[in-house]
């Protein structure tokens, strides 16, 4: 069995931009390239959907939940758009003995300057060392999905109080 499962749902991490007017689509998952570049092996990828997180609804969040629960792995990394990542993480509820970590990016993984590679690496470290539960990792920090918010002005995640 692989050490962990990556479930991809889209978001900025996989975006492909076509012009300066921000025309984009969600492209192929970039997780294979990022993890291979870091020498990471022994994982399986489940490309679940290709959506901007602002387009996700409760049916999509339930699909993520079901994919996590159906995974043969006890450790699951979910790459997700940052706008509604916490909402989807909260939707998971009880995941039993699984460790689930959500992460995303403010700039696509295809860009030369991106936070995607760091965020994925940090999320993977958290995934492999954290106790069972659901976490959100961004900007070098680990958050409880019930106590986090995205600060759009600062371009980062922070404690919600």
Catalytic residue numbers read: 12
Q: Which DSSP symbol is given to 13?
A: G
* Rounded Cα gap, residues 119 and 74, in angstroms: 21
Where do runs of H (alpha helix) occur along 38-144? 58-70, 85-91, 116-129
CA distance 19 to 92: 36
Question: Quick check: 101 and 138 in contact, CB under 8 A?
Answer: no
- In the numeric block, which tokens belong to residue 114? 């991106």
Strand partners for 157: 150
Q: How many Cα atoms occupy the beta-carbon half-sphere of 85 within 13 Å?
A: 34
């Amino acid at each position: 069995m692989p050490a962990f499962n990556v479930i991809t749902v889209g978001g900025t991490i996989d975006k492909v931009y076509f012009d300066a007017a921000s025309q984009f689509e969600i492209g192929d998952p970039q997780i294979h390239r990022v993890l291979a570049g870091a020498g990471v092996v022994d994982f399986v990828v489940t490309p679940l959907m290709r959506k901007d997180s602002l387009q996700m609804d409760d049916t999509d969040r339930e699909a993520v939940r079901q994919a996590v629960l159906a995974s043969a792995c006890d450790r699951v990394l979910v790459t997700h758009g940052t706008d509604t990542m916490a909402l989807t993480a909260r939707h998971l509820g009880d995941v039993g003995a699984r460790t689930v970590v959500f992460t995303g990016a403010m700039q696509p993984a295809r860009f030369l300057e991106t936070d995607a590679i760091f965020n994925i690496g940090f999320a993977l470290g958290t995934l492999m060392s954290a106790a069972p539960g659901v976490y959100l990792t961004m900007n070098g920090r680990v958050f409880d999905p019930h106590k986090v918010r995205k600060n759009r002005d600062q371009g980062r995640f922070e404690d919600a109080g």
